[in-house]
């Protein structure tokens, strides 16, 4: 299969990442089958897409008509078996290995034998996910960054069993999606999260220790290191639960205490303070949700 044979992309999971991926795929002219486990989750995903397209139309980067066409290319479904119609599938479900393994086992049964199955996992082992299928050579990482419609990078992750062909296909597809892919090895956190997540974690420790207020810590990193947003606002954007999941993986896989999560992150997850998506994290978003 070459990238030109891909007409329809399956996206599993309509959360922040899945909806962003569905949006860029549809904007690049692909048909998209977007699957989640409830109507409420699918509706939430569509709202995220509508809001993002709205921003682009407001900026004059897209016409109202164009936005409608993009939405029209996305089909919602609750059935995983509908992925049978996809020429490549990108999974963006929960960051839990058990969930991914189960999903990939099912996708393996449902999808045609030549179809490449990609995971948007931000830190889990592609090699382990691939082992849950009968096509480990066709399982690859395609890791997008939040907000997906804005950030150019897609990390293309080659597991131990992933074929060079599958990597090349994913790489070419990312280019067709208008993204800037970089190939990386299947190591915990790949390139970006191995570096970025410990940075955000350190900011959470600094906050806990009272080095500065959340506002001061973030402003300092913007003024002093030219960051577009501060590390605590970035935690809120990424999701405190997602960042904690990545830290747990880095900590467990490398066995290095430098990756230990700041206890405040665990507390915030327990309290349901997950960042923007729940309206509260290090900052308050109740007005914007
Ligand atoms: N859809 C479409 N457009 C969007 C958008 C969205 N969801 N979000 C922002 N934009 C657009 C805005 O409309 C604006 O457009 P113009 O430049 O044309 O005016 C532009 O992006 C900038 O947005 P804002 O002016 O609202 O605010 P900003 O300058 O702070 O930019 C940001 C927002 C792009 C999110 C920027 O703050 C940023 O790049 N932050 C860092 C994000 C980052 O590091 N992400 C990686 C997280 S790690 C990850 O995702 C991986 C993981 O696995 C955990």
Segment 159-183, tens digit of pLDDT: 999 999 999 999 999 999 999 999 9
Ligand 1 in reach of 229 Cβ (< 6 A): yes
Residues linked to residue 119 through DSSP beta bridges, in sequence order: 91, 141
Looking from the CA of residue 229, the nearest atom of ligand 1 is: 37
In angstroms, the CA 173 to CA 6 distance is 8
CB 136 within 8 A of CB 162: yes
In the predicted structure, residue 289 carries a pLDDT above the cut 80: no
pLDDT for 276 equals 95
Closest Cα to atom 53 of ligand 1: 122
Q: Is 258 exposed, middle or buried (0-12, 13-18, 19+ CB in 10 A)?
A: exposed
Of 123 and 177, which is predicted with more confidence? 177
Q: Which residues contact 60 (CB under 8 A, 6 or more apart)?
A: none
Of the pLDDT bands very low, low, confident and very high (cuts 50, 70, 90), residue 95 is: confident
Calculated CA dihedral for residues 19, 24, 27, 32, nearest 10 degrees: -50
Pocket test for ligand 1, best of 94, 229, 243, 249 (most atoms within 8 A of CB): 229
CA distance 189 to 87: 27
Among 20, 91, 124, 147, name the best residue to mutate to test ligand 1's pocket (greatest count of ligand atoms within 8 A of Cβ): 147
C-alpha 108/C-alpha 113 separation (Å) is: 8
Nearest atom (ligand 1) to Cα of 122: 53
Rounded to the nearest angstrom, the distance between the alpha carbon of 102 and the centre of ligand 1 is: 32
């Amino acid at each position: 299969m070459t990238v030109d044979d891909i007409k329809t992309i399956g996206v599993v999971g309509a959360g922040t990442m899945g909806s962003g991926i569905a949006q860029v795929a549809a904007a690049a002219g692909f048909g998209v089958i977007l699957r989640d486990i409830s109507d409420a989750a699918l509706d939430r995903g569509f709202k995220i897409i509508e809001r993002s397209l709205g921003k682009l139309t407001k900026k004059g980067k897209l016409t109202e008509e164009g936005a409608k066409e993009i939405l029209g290319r996305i089909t919602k479904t609750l059935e995983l078996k509908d992925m049978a119609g996809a020429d490549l599938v990108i999974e963006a479900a929960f960051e839990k290995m058990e969930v991914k393994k189960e999903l990939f086992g099912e996708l393996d049964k449902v999808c045609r034998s030549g179809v490449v199955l990609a995971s948007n996992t931000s830190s889990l082992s592609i090699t382990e996910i691939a082992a849950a299928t009968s096509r480990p050579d066709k399982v690859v990482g395609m890791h997008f960054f939040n907000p997906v419609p804005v950030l150019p990078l897609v990390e293309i992750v080659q597991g131990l069993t992933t074929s060079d062909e599958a990597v090349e296909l994913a790489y070419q597809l990312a280019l067709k999606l208008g993204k800037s892919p970089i190939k990386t090895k299947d190591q915990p956190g790949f390139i970006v999260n191995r570096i970025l997540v410990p940075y955000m974690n350190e900011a959470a420790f600094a906050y806990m220790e009272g080095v500065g207020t959340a506002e001061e810590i973030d402003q300092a990193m913007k003024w002093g290191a030219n960051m577009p947003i501060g590390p605590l606002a970035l935690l809120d954007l990424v999701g405190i639960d997602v960042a904690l999941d990545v830290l747990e993986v880095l900590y467990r896989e490398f066995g290095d205490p430098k990756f230990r999560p700041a206890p405040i992150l665990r507390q915030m997850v327990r309290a349901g303070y997950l960042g923007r998506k729940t309206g509260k994290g290090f900052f308050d978003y109740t007005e914007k949700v």
